[in-house]
Amino acid sequence: MAKSKTIITCAVTGAIHTPTMSDHLPVTQTEITEQAIAAAEAGASILHLHTRDPIDGRPSVEPDDYAPILARVKQSTDAVINITTGGAPTMLIKDRIKAAVQFSPEMCSLNMGSMNFAFHGLAGRYDTWKHDWEKDYILGSESNIFRNTLADIRQAAETLDPLGVKFEHECYDVGHLYTLKHCMDAGLFKAPVFLQFVFGVLGGIGPDIDNLIFMKRTADRLFGDDYRWSVLGAGGAQMPLATTASQMGGNVRVGLEDSLFISRGELATSNAQQVTKIRRIIEDLGNEVATPDEAREMLALKGGDRVAF
């Protein structure tokens, strides 16, 4: 069987990192748009997008804060747009799905369980902050629960499935794979599902290669060969785990949402820099990177002409 190509997803800004942490983190609509376009030009076939408040860069799920980004990215690239339904860990599903309902993208993320999602440890690295909200937001993650109950998952599935949206199922631990299997048995999702194995979030499974093999073996047992998978390592685990996943036949996710760095201690200057690096590694090791249309075929997406933006 021909080796399948590797899909690179780029997660451009997210909701965990804040403006103080890197001058290169895109926070305005113009910055998010320009970095998303450059990431697609560098080889990302899927762009996982969050948006932010244009005034102070705090996480936002307002459709108005997405609209200018989506229009320009669509005009300038052929990349698959994937809108988060994770929003920020402090937000509820009813608000987190609003933009996806309005814009009907080809893909959305969907978080497969409630969990601790703690990043309060980052606060100690900074003495001063660009904006008032940042420090409390970061410290608050120690006592927050990232809520994704089975009812929340059902609500997202039942609202977005009629729009033909395909999910990037974010699985932060092995139990999330069983939750997905339960939901598939209940008829909420159809094969082939697209799994994003997430490693290194405090509250989820750790970023060890043993864990990657365990997640993959469990997914094989639960879903047979009728699923696609990708790996996201948080922080310093980003490039090593993406490299390993690509060698195991999986797909990869990079981007400043997941790590602000390009190598140990060196901030990435852009999302495109991370895409370029993982693309070079993938190609040097003998694999090919999927184009957006190849990604559409591999993931059975509805097509870029069936979105509402």
Does 198 bind ligand KMH (CB under 6 A)? Our answer is: yes
Helix (H, G, I), strand (E, B) or coil at 93: helix
Closest approach, Cβ 110 to ligand KMH, in A, equals 7
Does 148 bind Zn ion (CB under 5 A)? Our answer is: no
- Residues 280-299, one symbol each (x = binds ligand KMH by CB under 6 A, - = not), give --------------------
Does 113 bind ligand KMH (CB under 6 A)? Our answer is: no
CA atoms within 13 A on the CB side of 122: 25
Site for Zn ion in 65-94 (CB under 5 A): 84, 86
- Contact region for ligand KMH (CB under 6 A) — 11-19, 130-138, 209-217, 237-245? 11-19
Does 111 bind Zn ion (CB under 5 A)? Our answer is: no
CB neighbour class for 3 (10 Å; exposed up to 12, middle 13-18, buried from 19):
exposed
- Residues 36-65, one symbol each (x = binds ligand KMH by CB under 6 A, - = not), give ------------------------------
Do residues 276 and 50 lie in contact, with contact meaning Cβ atoms separated by under 8 Å?
no
Closest approach, Cβ 265 to ligand KMH, in A, equals 21
Binding residues for ligand KMH (CB under 6 A): 11, 14, 16, 84-86, 109, 111, 170, 198, 201, 234, 257-258
